[in-house]
Amino acid sequence: MSARTSLPVGVALGSIGVDAAWWLESARQLDRAGYAGVWCWDHFMGKGRRDVPVLEQWSVLAAAAATTQRIGLGSFVSNVMNRHPAVLTRAASTVQAISGGRLTLGIGIGGHAAEHRAYGIPFPEAAERAARLESAIGAIRALWTGGPVTRDDPYYPLDEAVALPRPEPLPRILVGAGTPAGVRLAARAGDGWAAESPTFEALHERYLEALAAQDRARSSVRIVLGFGGGRSGEDALAGSPWLDDPEGEQGRWAAAGADEVILTARTTADVTRLIEAAGRLTA
């Protein structure tokens, strides 16, 4: 199998400083071009400027589910503090139904404290957010049985909770992690790891060790590696090695252990570059 066919390429479309029409039309273009997935971030405000529009993750994923045909859809990643897991479960189940089974749920502990202060959303220390993340994943999996679910839990208790219809198939849950403790949590609780390129190579072996400690086979999980960077409203892909040497980049990261990569597109120019390069990136 060639490096290209063994390493699917998805795209995270910027959701800060853009409007819904741009995001959805870009998703449709990437769908027609053959990309493996389109992914959305989870923010409520811009990080640098506060006077820019920001798309809500699950609303735009639902709209994309209804207006694309075959491309995968995913959250890269949902912030566990932004939604009670029961609410997230129902949103994800609905998107799975609308899309005909194309959803991947990525979830992590979050990291934009100023956003939480602005919205009055609790933002405890990382250790508690990690504990909440593991608890939330347990609640999501329990609710995806359809219920009724009764669950005694310090963070997310449930009492005869029903969640119908059940999503079919069950979405894969990727755990966002950029620390040793995070990859251990991903190995325990996730169906895969939502990794970021700055920390992936340093943590890959630790993730494999954590899988082995859980007696889980590497083949049973999926590593999805995101390449972010840049600023909202600015091109992220100009001069990118992914466009200049796509086969070399795919071969490099497949050999490093990734199962799928996610490139970031923030502007119309970025999307145009991806459409022009589709044959080399998706073949």
pLDDT of 181 above 90 = yes
pLDDT of 243 above 70 = yes
pLDDT of 66 above 80 = yes
Q: Which of left, alpha, beta for 115 (phi over 0: left; psi -120 to 50: alpha)?
A: alpha
**Band (2; pLDDT cuts 50, 70, 90):** very low
Q: Burial-class residue 213 by CB neighbours within 10 Å (0-12, 13-18, 19+).
A: exposed
pLDDT, tens only, 147-159: 999 999 999 999 9
Q: Burial-class residue 40 by CB neighbours within 10 Å (0-12, 13-18, 19+).
A: buried
Could you tell me whether strands 149-151 and 158-161 are parallel, antiparallel, or unpaired per DSSP bridges?
Answer: antiparallel
Mean pLDDT computed over every residue of the chain = 95
pLDDT at site 3: 41
Q: How many CB atoms lie within 10 A of CB 20?
A: 15
Report the candidate in 277, 281, 280, 265 with the shortest Cα–Cα distance to residue 25: 265
Instruction: Name the residue ranges covered by the structural domains of the chain.
Output: 3-282
CATH superfamily of 3-282: Luciferase-like domain (3.20.20.30)
pLDDT of 89 above 90 = yes
**DSSP tag of 61:** H
pLDDT at site 283: 66
Tokens of residue 211, six digits: 């899988």
Does the reported pTM lie above 0.85?
Answer: yes
Q: How many CB atoms lie within 10 A of CB 102?
A: 21
Tokens of residue 217, six digits: 């086979």
Cα–Cα distance for residue pair 58/38, rounded to 1 Å: 13
pLDDT at site 4: 42
**Band (233; pLDDT cuts 50, 70, 90):** confident
pLDDT, tens only, 273-283: 999 999 999 86
Alpha helices in 174-245 (DSSP H): 180-189, 197-213, 241-244
Beta bridge partners of 220: none
